[in-house]
Structure 1
């Protein structure tokens, strides 16, 4: 054993002999950290999770190279038009009029605009390259000319991609269409950042744009990354406005029960506030952004802080009720609790920091900030709160202020005290039966938990399309804002997704002038994998090959050029590809061609349709296999692949973090108990109920249909960190009582349950209800996280009180 007591004695001396100095020092540090709160920025949405994905990198390259609106200097706004038939003449003119009004308004900084209406106008008159010219063309056109132009335009993918999937080629009608406006944004913006949260330079443009478009006689909504980012950011703050007061109220109610003294309650709440200020002040000082995952940090700090606070006050009262003086009572309390707090802090930091090995940046950041916050919580509740309590009680005596609620929770003879003895009674009667049942329950629950789903989507971070009634009825200032992104994205998904399924894009990089380039693309489509839509043993794909074929069908001259360079007469040119590309880009099909090949002929994209019944995993696997067929550098991408990649990383992160947390926690506990007690086996006793609680938690997630997502992926390692809190207090208090009572097992267990069980109960009730309030958050991901954290704390408490006594029976028998 190591003589650690001398270090604790030094801390005891500061706490009991210089409490005012300690309090002032901590208040000054709080002021310093509070200065960092002003530096906190926000970073919300899904892109923070996908930025390290190769599929996302390819998707960003496609956005930049094949859509001018996605360039670094421009921002893009979508104009989503809906109606009974948006391809009617008046509706086509309404879309062009909306684009024209945006162009004419100085605040919009419009550099270009495109739409299905513009394509129709240019099909009628190829020289109608401006919105004004396109409006005049449609105004002068007859209905039959417009229908003929729509029929011609519909032969190319550039038009059909802009109209809803209910487009009827017979009646030339559709219920929705999408137009695009590009803005010259000072400082630049990329639409690949859509949904990242924070301040977007497009927000003001798109907000004002909606007001401008509303003046047009048509149902057109403005949509873009500025609006998405704004809602992601607003959701964070709206969730906090709802959750924090509700959690504070519930926590306050239980703290009143736990402390039963207004001054002690004030000190406990002050310490909690300081822990949050220190943590997020640190976040601002080091320049880390506030993401949606970090909303979960305050409840975690409250969980540990409440536990520390109740234990500190409760243990101090145990001495005071025996007429022991203030300083000596606190010395006794801190002598015991500082060690327990250190064990809890160490293992909790391990549990949170285990998320640092995640493959996702936001989860790594979450683990870091939560771990730092727990260290701050240890310092505040281990040193500041005891010092403040000593100074406060000294002032009480000096000024004659009465004390309230001096009796500790769970004292002998109380109803709670009798209930808490259930675990000890079971251990006295049938400890090995309890252990056998626990092992079976753990194995069954763990095996059942292997079926927990994994998910990742933008919907996790957005509010539901219809908010719950209790949210909509909240009065100001708690009432949330108006959210439109979910409704719009659902509309786009319903109206513009293909009936066949989703799509996959292969991003191709290489010398596309080489003779074999187009043949390579075409041959890759032969006998495609099962996840892809196919006809005549060829994949259903849109590429530059199709645009060449479409133009050849309309231009005899171009058709002859293609035929002269088609050695094998399969319709795909083999020679002089540079000349063919040049002719294509000089034609009316230039816009369509640039959707699939860059002007330097170094990059191309091929878009494939996938089967509607193919799973995301099958699509991802088959898409990568298809990309491997290309003779060029080819990367499979698309939203399905990006989200599936993150989903896989989430599951991997959950498992790796769990294993790392278990292994490091076991090593830490064994080492600590070897150092302080010379009995490393106590570390395994401490770990046993935690393993049970983690298995129960994982099984409950599957039972309740809660998947591993960007936030709940952290829960298994967090459950270890929080679970140790309960078992560590039990084990450490037991060892102290075991020594005091000459190693009498059951008297020591009874004294432990009476002394620590009450504080654990108060802590459990406070934190489960306080954290469970996260279920009221507007975003689904936070509600799920609040529920699983509350469950993890409840299971940790339950196993500590019911299982640990029987484990100690077995421990004594084996040692």
Structure 2
């Protein structure tokens, strides 16, 4: 500590220059930052996604490209009127005429109606001519006849009236030949080769006199990326304004304010520069890192300046005052940094890569913050004050916050008053409150859905009123998803897939697939108490119905005459793969006859958790090694991992923090039990936060999954400063209550400034367009407030109990 003090107080300019040089290096890294958005980053490592990847790899023809599609969602009073049908065909014709859009095929209700009128209308031009040349009554009659087909009913809204030939919405589909194919992950990627195509499709759709919305993976990817930038553009300036406002109140001196802001900027610069140099992409989760760094940096800065001022107002010179301040605060900063790093780094036990990256980057950022505010800020302060004293420059607001006798000091003494009068009764009430909150918090839900990463359908009015460049863009994805869900709910059932591996030539293989379908779980679509999946059995039945020789082969090998062959299956597969049904068969069975997929329809309104549980139950019925998969199952599995990550991270953070605090206080004070005193208020704070999540109906999702570990990491900051200052004062006075009075008057004032600045600065995340980011902002702000209150109100009574037991 003496060597560090020497550098800070005797060679401050050298320290400042060194930090500025390092900042220049990290500034280079900022330019190398890439971005990553969407839900695919969360699902890619799950066993269910691995199974889905294998399904996509094994049951797609060799060298085939996976085409992407664009949906054209048309709305109107009656989208089946002649002019509206022509508008849909016009959009599809204009897209097909553009080589850059790589149109492979198109389909729509308009095309079906046209071919009902003229069966030879196989091209878009012919389909347009067929409808254009028909009368309105002929079009209505064609609509009624087309309604007999499932293909037509699948693309018109649920309010379709067959007699009146009307509907309020319809879907047209354009398939694109995308070089290299498109991602088949259950989650959405932040980048898509379809993005430029679908952006161009938006322009084409705007050229017709109809309400046609372009929708697809490219639009989702583009808006997922855009919402990050738009959220930052709104949140960062608002946070800066509020933070600067409260820093003005806390510092009350322009030079100190400038130093504090520069140090905060350096902490963010170093962290983002490291991100670029390390090649870690910036994801939605990492939006939360800058506010967290600001939270800790603001606290360190206010404490450093405030403690230094306490010495200065006593008449001491610049260097001795800073030496005394750093002697005390660097130890506290070290303890805070250690516990905060444990809190953030505990996310490293998560099975989700983005959460692990978040924990790592946040932990690195906190270490940078410690170095900047522990070394750079004090050294710069010494350099500035030495020169301002020498030059006789006027200074303002040199009085520390919460000085003894001030109104703030009297308010802050509430916890000490309680500790004097009834500490044990108060602690008993706190124990009950903590336990009750923890039990209540067991009802907090989990959520993982694509829509968590998308902007809301309608931005709040106050955001719409923002001037450029802060005004948010126009977002259509969520509204389109809501429209599809509300108007096309019965158009197509959702599906889950069972991926099975094993000897498919064994006599029991196909029988096993068939027997599993009896008495299916409640969420599965069933007929006569049997599920009717599409599988290799479907292909066998379909081809047997068309080919007498193959049907005879199947019947000869159906020993129990139940319609499912159970003998000489290899010969049946060989015959199937040598037939015109080969391509269809390879969609459900591999060429080595060792793996297969079975696709089940599930009820569209079934709960995701219920569907997943039922799919896993169905997979367990197979005699082959089977895994339930599909987007629904992958997303639910990810939600389960999120909850698991939350609990594991919290447990690791609590244990690591407790061990660290016990060790530190044993080394520093030979009183390891002070570590438990330090930990008690934050346990209360974490329990209250978890209970509040349930009260506010905020689930654990991809971002809030980190909140409990963060609450411990950030919250311990407040109790560390209180306990560490108490230990110093107790050593001097030998009286518990005198030490507590001086602690809350001195450190409590800095904590108040830090709490107000941090809570408001992070609380502005509630204005983010990104929904889960707003929830995260609310929770972090509550974390700061709860930690502040428990540190100043609960800690004094815990200290009294500790003193009684220790002495």
Q: Indicate the residue corresponding to 1:793 in structure 2.
A: 784
Deviation at 1:193, TM superposition (A): 8.1
Q: Distance in 2 between matches of 1:97 and 1:565?
A: 48
Alpha-carbon spacing, 1:109–1:531, altered in 2? closer, same or farther (3 Å): closer
Q: Is the 8 A contact 1:102 1:108 kept in 2?
A: yes
Alpha-carbon spacing, 1:316–1:42, altered in 2? closer, same or farther (3 Å): same
Q: Distance in 1 between matches of 2:95 and 2:564?
A: 42
Whether 1:734 aligns to 2:723 is: no
Q: 2:801 aligns with which of 793, 796, 810?
A: 810
Q: Indicate the residue corresponding to 2:14 in structure 1.
A: 21
Q: Distance in 2 between matches of 1:143 and 1:660?
A: 67
Deviation at 1:664, TM superposition (A): 0.4
Q: Distance in 1 between matches of 2:377 and 2:384?
A: 10
The answer to which of 802-811 and 310-319 deviates more is 802-811
Q: Indicate the residue corresponding to 1:301 in structure 2.
A: 293
Deviations 1:243-273 (Å, cap 9, x if unpaired)? 1111111111111111000000000011000
Q: 1:376 aligns with which of 368, 375, 380?
A: 368
Q: Distance in 2 between matches of 1:122 and 1:600?
A: 41
Q: Is the 8 A contact 1:507 1:604 kept in 2?
A: yes
Q: Is the 8 A contact 2:49 2:186 kept in 1?
A: no
Alpha-carbon spacing, 1:444–1:811, altered in 2? closer, same or farther (3 Å): same
Whether 1:111 aligns to 2:100 is: no
Matches within 5 A, 1:316-331: 316-331=308-323
The answer to which of 280-289 and 77-86 deviates more is 77-86
Q: Distance in 2 between matches of 1:420 and 1:749?
A: 11
SS in 1 for 2:21: helix
Q: Indicate the residue corresponding to 1:565 in structure 2.
A: 554
Q: Is the 8 A contact 1:43 1:197 kept in 2?
A: yes
Q: Distance in 2 between matches of 1:69 and 1:704?
A: 51
Q: Distance in 1 between matches of 2:702 and 2:668?
A: 38
The answer to which of 600-609 and 42-51 deviates more is 600-609
Q: Indicate the residue corresponding to 1:80 in structure 2.
A: 73
Q: 1:482 aligns with which of 474, 477, 480?
A: 474
Q: Indicate the residue corresponding to 2:753 in structure 1.
A: 762
Matches within 5 A, 1:663-682: 663-682=655-674
Deviation at 1:127, TM superposition (A): 8.8
Deviations 1:42-92 (Å, cap 9, x if unpaired)? 111211111112323344455667789996564432233445665677766
Deviations 1:466-509 (Å, cap 9, x if unpaired)? 11111111111110111011111112222333389743233456
SS in 1 for 2:31: helix
TM norm structure 2: 0.90
Matches within 5 A, 1:488-503: 488-498=480-490, 502-503=494-495
Q: Indicate the residue corresponding to 1:438 in structure 2.
A: 430
Deviation at 1:280, TM superposition (A): 0.6
Deviation at 1:136, TM superposition (A): 7.3
Q: Distance in 2 between matches of 1:614 and 1:459?
A: 18
Whether 1:315 aligns to 2:307 is: yes
Q: Distance in 1 between matches of 2:63 and 2:49?
A: 15
Whether 1:724 aligns to 2:716 is: yes
Deviation at 1:122, TM superposition (A): 8.0
SS in 2 for 1:803: helix
Q: Distance in 2 between matches of 1:577 and 1:735?
A: 79
Q: Is the 8 A contact 1:515 1:577 kept in 2?
A: no
Q: Distance in 2 between matches of 1:91 and 1:71?
A: 35
Deviation at 1:288, TM superposition (A): 0.5
SS in 2 for 1:77: strand
Q: Indicate the residue corresponding to 2:389 in structure 1.
A: 397
Q: Indicate the residue corresponding to 1:418 in structure 2.
A: 410
Deviation at 1:531, TM superposition (A): 2.8
Matches within 5 A, 1:54-203: 54-60=47-53, 74-83=67-76, 95-115=88-108, 150=146, 153-154=149-150, 161-166=154-159, 175-185=168-178, 189-190=182-183, 192=185, 195-198=188-191, 200-203=192-195
SS in 2 for 1:541: coil
Q: Indicate the residue corresponding to 1:258 in structure 2.
A: 250
Q: Distance in 1 between matches of 2:66 and 2:25?
A: 39
Deviation at 1:174, TM superposition (A): 5.4
Deviations 1:348-405 (Å, cap 9, x if unpaired)? 0000000110111111111000000000000000000000100010121232211111
SS in 1 for 2:462: helix
Deviation at 1:220, TM superposition (A): 3.2
Q: Distance in 2 between matches of 1:382 and 1:521?
A: 66
Q: Indicate the residue corresponding to 2:676 in structure 1.
A: 684
Whether 1:747 aligns to 2:738 is: yes
Q: Indicate the residue corresponding to 1:388 in structure 2.
A: 380
Whether 1:249 aligns to 2:238 is: no
Deviation at 1:20, TM superposition (A): 0.8
Q: Indicate the residue corresponding to 2:654 in structure 1.
A: 662
Q: Distance in 1 between matches of 2:510 and 2:239?
A: 62
Q: Is the 8 A contact 2:612 2:636 kept in 1?
A: yes
Deviations 1:295-351 (Å, cap 9, x if unpaired)? 111111111000000000000000000110100000000000000000000000000
Q: Distance in 1 between matches of 2:175 and 2:491?
A: 29
Q: Distance in 2 between matches of 1:596 and 1:129?
A: 30
SS in 2 for 1:80: strand
Deviation at 1:230, TM superposition (A): 1.1
Q: Is the 8 A contact 2:155 2:491 kept in 1?
A: no
Deviation at 1:211, TM superposition (A): 1.9
Q: Indicate the residue corresponding to 2:444 in structure 1.
A: 452
Q: Distance in 2 between matches of 1:583 and 1:646?
A: 41
Q: Indicate the residue corresponding to 1:3 in structure 2.
A: none
Deviation at 1:604, TM superposition (A): 5.5
Q: Distance in 1 between matches of 2:161 and 2:746?
A: 76
Alpha-carbon spacing, 1:680–1:175, altered in 2? closer, same or farther (3 Å): same
The answer to which of 355-364 and 526-535 deviates more is 526-535
Deviation at 1:665, TM superposition (A): 0.2
SS in 2 for 1:527: coil
Give structure 2 stretches of 5+ with no counterpart: none
Give structure 1 stretches of 5+ with no counterpart: 1-7
Q: 1:52 aligns with which of 45, 53, 58?
A: 45
Q: Distance in 2 between matches of 1:608 and 1:191?
A: 18
Deviations 1:704-745 (Å, cap 9, x if unpaired)? 11111111111111111111101111111111111111x211
Deviations 1:2-46 (Å, cap 9, x if unpaired)? xxxxxx111100100011111111111111111111111111121
Q: Is the 8 A contact 1:658 1:716 kept in 2?
A: yes
SS in 1 for 2:174: strand
The answer to which of 217-226 and 204-213 deviates more is 217-226
SS in 2 for 1:491: helix
Deviations 1:738-780 (Å, cap 9, x if unpaired)? 1111x21111111111111100111011111111111111111
Q: 2:457 aligns with which of 453, 465, 471?
A: 465
Q: Distance in 2 between matches of 1:160 and 1:519?
A: 34
TM norm structure 1: 0.90
Q: Indicate the residue corresponding to 2:341 in structure 1.
A: 349
Q: Distance in 2 between matches of 1:148 and 1:443?
A: 64
Q: Is the 8 A contact 1:320 1:329 kept in 2?
A: yes
Q: Indicate the residue corresponding to 2:531 in structure 1.
A: 539
Q: 1:608 aligns with which of 588, 600, 618?
A: 600
Deviations 1:175-216 (Å, cap 9, x if unpaired)? 544443333445654254873224x43222211122224445
Deviation at 1:96, TM superposition (A): 4.7
Paired residues in the alignment total: 796
Q: Indicate the residue corresponding to 2:232 in structure 1.
A: 240
Deviation at 1:632, TM superposition (A): 4.7
Q: 1:12 aligns with which of 5, 13, 37?
A: 5
